[in-house]
């Protein structure tokens, strides 16, 4: 079985301003590096559909969805908070970003693909049930998890190795024993959460500024992987942020490309044991374009088992 690479042109049109770090060029950095590496020919390309209203409403309140739709400007940029804004293309991008994870979920459940990577933006893991924040409008991975559960799976897992804690994903699933969330993040750092878990199904590890691959691998080996083994997920979702890379300008961790490749390989082993190999990964952060491209492609190389 092949690995899916899911994208949509609208995700490049979402633009929060010339100097905003969450910029359209991030997707070009990934796709250009994918081609240059030769891995592009080893993945199957798909165009993301729009997530439907019922799919979004599994994880977001109806009033919140209506607010995001109403906030979509006809021109210019409209800010939802100091970090998160919409231009006239943002709503379309957001529903396609969430729809990409739904399609990825269907592809791995139907065994058309073993794994999938969603090269989409805006990212999603900070979006809560009723709140946009941290560059995020809809929680893409959460929409995918809810879709998997609605499709009949009984256990799912989210692994989030973005440098920022995925507060939205935690808030959405903290009282759902069918889902565990695990991963690492820098602390203290925006959004200044994650140290006190909201539920017993949350197994995230804060790392101090300056921590590198050794600390990451220790956290994965001692906390994250055992939590996954205990839960025996039938599908694994990855919030794949690459902003813990040592070259990233927005944080202070010291990961390198091989750390992401190693973590992905470990998750593949868990997925093979419990989930028939099913992994869905979706892009979150990563703001140094070169580091983002290199890291994402090593992650995709591992997903494709190359």
- Residue-wise pLDDT for 223-246, tens only, equals 999 999 999 999 999 999 999 999
What span, in angstroms and rounded, lies between the C-alpha atoms of 78 and 191?
22
Domains of the chain: 2-303 (3.40.800.20)
Both tokens of residue 28? 């070009």
List Cα–Cα distances, 216 to 44, 87, 199, 302, in angstroms. 30, 36, 22, 17
- pTM higher than 0.75, yes or no? yes
Active site residues: 126
Distance separating alpha carbons of residues 278 and 7, to the nearest angstrom: 19
Among 250, 272, 262, 163, which Cα is nearest to 211's? 163
**Could you count the other beta carbons within 10 Å of the beta carbon of residue 175?**
11
The pLDDT tens digits of the residues spanning 63-102 come to: 999 999 999 999 999 999 999 999 999 999 999 999 999 9
- 201 touches 176 (CB < 8 A): yes
Is residue 280 very low, low, confident or very high in pLDDT (cuts 50, 70, 90)?
very high
């Amino acid at each position: 079985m092949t690995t899916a690479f899911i994208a949509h042109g609208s995700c490049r049109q979402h633009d929060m301003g010339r100097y905003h770090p969450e910029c359209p060029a991030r997707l070009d950095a990934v796709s250009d590096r994918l081609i240059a590496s030769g891995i592009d020919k080893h993945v199957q390309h798909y165009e993301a559909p729009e997530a439907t209203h019922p799919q979004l409403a599994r994880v977001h309140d109806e009033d919140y969805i209506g607010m995001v739709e109403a906030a979509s400007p006809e021109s210019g940029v409209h800010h939802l908070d100091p970090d998160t804004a919409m231009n006239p293309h943002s709503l379309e991008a957001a529903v396609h970003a969430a729809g990409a994870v739904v399609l990825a979920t269907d592809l791995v459940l139907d065994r058309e693909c073993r794994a999938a990577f969603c090269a989409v933006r805006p990212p999603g893991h900070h979006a809560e049930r009723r709140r946009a924040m941290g560059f995020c409008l809809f929680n893409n991975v959460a929409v995918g998890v809810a879709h998997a559960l609605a499709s009949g799976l009984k256990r799912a897992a989210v692994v989030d190795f973005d440098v920022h804690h995925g507060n939205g994903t935690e808030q959405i699933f903290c009282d759902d024993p069918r889902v565990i969330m695990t991963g690492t993040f820098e602390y203290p750092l925006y959004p200044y959460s994650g140290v006190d878990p909201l539920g017993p199904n949350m197994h995230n590890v804060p790392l101090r500024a300056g921590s590198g691959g050794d600390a990451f691998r220790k956290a994965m080996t001692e906390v994250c992987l055992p939590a996954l083994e205990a839960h025996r997920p039938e599908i694994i979702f990855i919030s794949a942020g690459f902003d813990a890379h040592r070259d990233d300008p927005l944080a202070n961790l010291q990961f390198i490309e091989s750390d992401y490749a190693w973590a992905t390989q470990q998750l593949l082993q868990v997925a093979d044991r419990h989930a028939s190999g099913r992994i869905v990964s979706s892009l979150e952060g990563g703001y140094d374009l070169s580091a983002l491209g290199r890291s994402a492609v090593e992650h995709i190389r591992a997903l494709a088992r190359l």
